[in-house]
A and B are shown apart, each in its own frame.
Chain A
């Protein structure tokens, strides 16, 4: 962890938090802040001793306090104690319950951690897309509460840029890792756009309904439902009604007559025998004039004869197949995560360099002002001796003194910039 000493005006970045790796759900849920209380919590954080700017990120997997502290406060271990006290007072959780799970990052490491969090490298499912939205939400709340100004503003903007860069330059989030989203991905590989596609649900089940909802989100416009119990089919169909899609409960007896209307069939019955055999596939495809059909078989024992996959135009995936694709995608994400970590490292370096050159600015300005004052004073002192000079000659003297001052200052300014850079990288 970096222990650099910034200039007095800079402030110190401290990040304190718990996440799914360090704390069990029992602890995390006690510290979770509901969205409607986030602004209040942020304002309370801002009133803690030494806190100049602050932001709270609270998701189901993490609670993190990002603060910019006064140097005098932050130089002592007091800062951590103060933040811990805030957690204790705000959530009424004893410090000894939190402390073992708490991590702390300062300066450079805090920047790195923030970049990693926003880029979903620190998430439970690496590459999941929600976290960036949650970080943006936390930032918006903090900004509206007046808890974010120059330093955190610059840091957060950089964080969003880095997260976006990682999304576009690596494939960390491109492959699906849940069963439902893998099913949607495969459907898109077959049909391209899912707009206007028809989904048939055979049987009921949470996972099949979830997959159907994913397909609707991607544009599927029609849901057919069938079940051995007609009333159950009607109930499921009515559940989908609110999603502005065409829904229809079809009698189980009419299944083989109606199934070819569907582009995607999701089966999850508890039937001991197969419902769809190879010949059914051939029959459906013939009636569909070879337009492809995608069978997602979530049932165990299986509802669809795997030999149906041999029929040209029929694609059959059972639960194991979907899980295998999900596992392979997860492995891909891990490989991409390594590339993303490199980007984070480079971006942290760049950010720190930019910060360091900004640190030197006040000292440089002060030195320049002092030199200018001296120059002006010397000119005033020599005014009587220069009284006889023409306007042109006066301009020449003015230019000469300016040039001399600049040349004398140049080595000092270079040394100052260099020493700031060295001091901060120590």
Chain B
């Protein structure tokens, strides 16, 4: 049943992704009134699907890449709705909603087969660990996207060509970029802490000798450093995009590395 609701959600993401184009590019309120409710409905059904999946899983948690992808899609859709609620702009949806659609597409029609057995006591914590880290990834992705849009808009304003009217103002994209980072930091901190505690309890101290795990902590430090630099120097524009991209690459490397780590295959090293 969870698969059915996920398919409904994916369909709604698709509708929202199409409707957001005229809504943002040509400022058509009628299309905005389709895109936003469709996304809200998609998020709702995505949640239902997730709840049913977790309910059915008991102590077997589907941790296939497809499922994490789908969850990342849900977080990005939530990010789109939060940005809309706060800044009344749907422009970011042009990029976010098709990504949500694509991230949900494979899990909805070719669900993964892998699942992992946990002691029932840990299942909830594992889910929280994954969810919080994915939220941090989503926040960083949103921040990078906003920074890129800032760059495009800034270039248009500098070149004095008629500005792209569908892009949000510079101040707005800058705020989105910074606030996304600020939301991402506690998510990443809590996600890493929970992960460490679970690993400590199940694998023991050897876990902390895994260089890939150490890299994850380095990622956290880089993230904190980036926020610090942005806040102190008021970094914007090109340099902010370069910094965000660098951190994004580091985080992507950590994520890929962790796919190969012994801990994440849940076998003792």
Contact = CB atoms under 8 A, between A and B. Distances in A.
A312 B237 contact: yes
Interface in B155-176: 157-158, 160, 162-163, 165, 168-172
B160 A190 contact: no
Interface string A292-314: 10000000000000000100110
A278 to B, nearest CB: 14
A315 B30 contact: no
Interface stretch (B21-29, B34-42, B111-119, B202-210): B21-29
Using C-beta atoms within 8 Å of the partner chain, give the interface range for chain B.
Answer: 20 to 34
Contacts of A312: 236-239
Contacts of B250: none
A186 interface: yes
Interface string A264-299: 000000000000000000000000111110000000
Interface of B: 26-30, 153, 157-158, 160, 162-163, 165, 168-172, 233-239
Given A171-B27, A189-B153, A313-B237, A292 B170 contact: yes
B165 A190 contact: no
9 contacts: A171-B26, A171-B27, A188-B169, A189-B170, A191-B170, A192-B172, A292-B171, A313-B237, A325-B160
A329 interface: yes
Nearest to B162: A328
Contact of A174 (B27, B169, B236): B27
Contacts of A175: 165
A190 B162 contact: no
Given A290-B234, A292-B236, 13 more contacts: A168-B30, A171-B27, A175-B165, A186-B163, A189-B169, A190-B170, A192-B171, A192-B172, A193-B171, A290-B236, A290-B237, A312-B238, A315-B158
A400 B197 CA distance: 88
Contacts of B234: 288-291
Using C-beta atoms within 8 Å of the partner chain, give the interface range for chain A.
Answer: 20 to 34
Contact of B169 (A171, A192, A329): A192
Contact of B160 (A317, A329, A332): A317
A190 B26 contact: no
B10 to A, nearest CB: 30
The 7 closest A-B pairs by CB, nearest first: A289-B234, A192-B169, A290-B234, A192-B171, A328-B162, A192-B172, A321-B160
B114 to A, nearest CB: 46
Contacts of B158: 309, 315
- Looking at B26, B153, B235, B236, the one whose CB has the most chain A CB atoms below 10 A away is B236
Contacts of B236: 290, 292, 312-313
